[in-house]
Amino acid sequence: MAEKKQPKFRQITVMLLMTAFQLLSAGCVIFRQEEPSMTLIYIFFGFIAVEWLYMLIGNLVTDSDYFELEVIAFFLSGIGLTVCASFNESYALKQVIAIGTNHYDSWYPYCVFEYNPENICCNQKEGVLKDDNKD
């Protein structure tokens, strides 16, 4: 019985499609104002250039065609970068740093809404204690 061969991963095709998607989503964020933000243009084009360099160097050095996980990581990171850039330019810069370095504790953009109930003792100001049972 013949062994089925796994189809070859079309790296260049997937990278071109992903780059087109990232350029489209970056364009929506960059050109939403009257004047495009040069900072966001540099951030997005730098991110895309690093993706292509990583894939090129990885392909030449390892001589492997199995970059599916890297493509998924780049795709999801690009979506996260677009979401952070839609909030603020500084969030986009922090997200690029977080993607590139792994310092997510100190650089992670705080895009999370926190819920701090006022009637919990740890969330109250010092010296002020509320008692809901008082009349």
3-state SS class at 58? helix
pLDDT tens-digit profile, the chain (135 residues) = 567 776 666 788 899 999 999 999 999 999 988 888 899 999 999 999 999 998 888 888 887 767 788 889 899 999 999 999 998 888 888 888 878 776 555 544 444 445 555 555 555 566 555 555 555
Measured distance CA(62)–CA(114) in Å, rounded: 44
Helices 38-62 and 68-87, axial angle in degrees (round to 10): 170
Residues 6+ apart with CB under 8 A from 93: 39, 43
Query: For position 21, what pLDDT does the model report?
Result: 96
Measured distance CA(125)–CA(132) in Å, rounded: 16
Query: For position 131, what pLDDT does the model report?
Result: 53
Query: For position 117, what pLDDT does the model report?
Result: 53
Q: What is the sign of the dihedral through the CA atoms of 98, 102, 107 and 108? A: positive
Question: pTM to 2 decimals?
Answer: 0.67
